[in-house]
Amino acid sequence: MHMRTVSRGTYLLSDQDLILTDQEVPSYILKVRDLPIEEKPREKLLANGPENLSVSELMAVLLGVGTKKEEVMTMAQRILKEYGEKAIVHQTDPSILSESLDIPIAKACQIVASFELGRRFYAQDGGKAVFVRNASQAFEYLKDMAGNKKEHFKGLYLNSRYKVVHEELISVGSLTANIVHPREVFQPAIEHGAVAVVVAHNHPSGNLEPTEADLEVTSQLSAAGKILGIELLDHLVIAGENFKSIKEV
């Protein structure tokens, strides 16, 4: 395992097929009332900001409350799973959404309105696709992580043309092999059809040197990616305005 700073090297994707499994991932039904206060979506949003919430947690905040037959976190997770994140973004008819997902029309309207706002602001901002072909471009995309007071571990998921098709906040807290498990890194890759992953985490201390845990996580992810046919292109350590790349050679 060697550590080096990468600024000009270009990522090279291996010619390999994406291996998917026919086995369903068991769903975990999470109830808001069972969570500690700091982990409840709304309280978490207030304390840590929206960037620290998962997609299902953000959906739960948007929905506000569930129904008599379905708790809000369960509803949020089901909506995203059954309709699909990409499909729901483009649905503009609340009636179709309500009927397809068996949710109240008011909640369907909330979902459609939120994505319409996003589309309008996205259009005003230019809405350009992001491509990551080297560590410098990955750092440019993720450099805001440096300002986090806790360690954040994120993944960038790329298609065969190096286009970012998804970004995922994988964990918050101390980086250890027990917290960052390969299944948490590669499940979004399978869900979004990515062929490669770039992961990154910040060091709030400002020290760019990777720890033993950093090196071990990189080794585990690289090995898991080879089994799945989803390439781990890089693992960046971000601190201040600088970064280092951990790569297995």
Cα 109 from Cα 117, distance rounded (Å): 12
pLDDT at 156 over 90: yes
| Average per-residue pLDDT for the chain | 82
**Nearby residues of 99 by Cβ (< 8 Å), 6 or more positions away:** none
pLDDT value at residue 179: 65
pLDDT at 34 over 80: no
Rg (CA), the chain: 19
| Cβ pair 233, 196 in contact under 8 A | yes
Q: Is 131 helix (H, G, I), strand (E, B) or coil?
A: strand
pLDDT value at residue 91: 85
The tens digit of pLDDT for each residue in 89-134 reads: 878 889 988 998 999 999 999 999 998 888 777 655 455 778 999 9
First-to-last alpha carbon distance for the chain, in angstroms, is 7
pLDDT value at residue 181: 86
pLDDT at 16 over 60: no
pLDDT value at residue 177: 44
pLDDT value at residue 199: 96
Cα 245 from Cα 134, distance rounded (Å): 10
**Domain residues of the chain, as ranges?**
2-22+130-247, 32-124
The tens digit of pLDDT for each residue in 115-126 reads: 888 877 765 545
Residue of higher predicted confidence among 85 and 245: 245
The tens digit of pLDDT for each residue in 189-207 reads: 998 899 999 999 999 888 9
pLDDT value at residue 126: 55
Mean pLDDT of the 232-248 span: 90
What is the fold of 2-22+130-247?
Answer: Cytidine Deaminase; domain 2 (3.40.140)
Q: Is 230 helix (H, G, I), strand (E, B) or coil?
A: coil
The edge-to-edge listing of strands for the beta sheet with 2-4 is: 2-4, 242-247, 231-239, 196-202, 152-158, 164-172
pTM over 0.75: no
| Cβ pair 215, 198 in contact under 8 A | no
Cα 179 from Cα 62, distance rounded (Å): 28
Residue 59 CA neighbour count, 13 Å, CB half: 23
pLDDT value at residue 146: 86
The tens digit of pLDDT for each residue in 46-78 reads: 988 888 889 989 999 999 888 888 989 899 989
Q: Is 153 helix (H, G, I), strand (E, B) or coil?
A: strand
Helices assigned H by DSSP within the chain: 41-48, 55-63, 72-83, 85-89, 94-101, 105-124, 135-142, 182-191, 212-228
pLDDT at 31 over 80: no
Mean pLDDT of the 227-238 span: 96
